[in-house]
Amino acid sequence: MSDVILRPFEAGDTDWLVERHATLYADAEGFDDTFGPLVRSILEAFNAGHDAQCEAGWIASLGEQRLGSIFCVRLDADTAKLRLFLLVPEARGRGVGRQLLAQCMNFARDAGYAGMQLWTHESHRAACHLYVSAGWTLVDSQPVHSFGQDLVEQTWIFRF
């Protein structure tokens, strides 16, 4: 998708991003209605006061159509946290995820972080494959019951 651009996340993207997360995860994985409010709380905190020097979010778009998102937020002084990585189904398998991930990782490196961390579920196989190909390491995996489903949570890290 050569015409895809990555633009900064804007507060006006919040409702779209909450709806897309809630709907796509409900459809694909049976997540219950607790997931959307979690996404909203993350975005509201970001909107209320992120530090633009070390935190950012991006929306991938093709014309007016939003295709996905990714965020880099501060976990601690040395570590950035990747959050809210999402691609709509029609954007998957076209390099948009790789583009978003590279943007986020480059921002974190340029902001002076020594590494990054992310939390996901093993059912997100395409994303996990992307993390492996970008040099991330799986450091923890454990069964949980979240969002109305039995899942396996994973923690991944990347060091610059």
CATH number at residue 74: 3.40.630.30
The pLDDT of 148-155, averaged and rounded, is 94
The amino acid occupying position 30 is G
pLDDT at 2 over 80: no
Sheet of strand 56-62: strand arrangement: 5-8, 56-62, 65-74, 79-87, 115-121, 149-159, 137-146
pLDDT in tens, 106-146: 999 999 999 999 999 898 888 999 999 999 999 999 999 99
CA 155 – CA 4 distance, rounded (Å): 29
pLDDT in tens, 28-51: 999 999 999 999 999 999 999 999
| Domain tally, the chain | 1
Place of tokens 């979010």: 57
Per the domain annotation, does 95 fall within a domain? yes
What is the 8-class DSSP label of residue 114? S
CA 122 – CA 132 distance, rounded (Å): 13
| Owning domain of residue 80 | 5-114
Per the domain annotation, does 10 fall within a domain? yes
Per the domain annotation, does 85 fall within a domain? yes
Mean pLDDT (the chain, rounded): 96
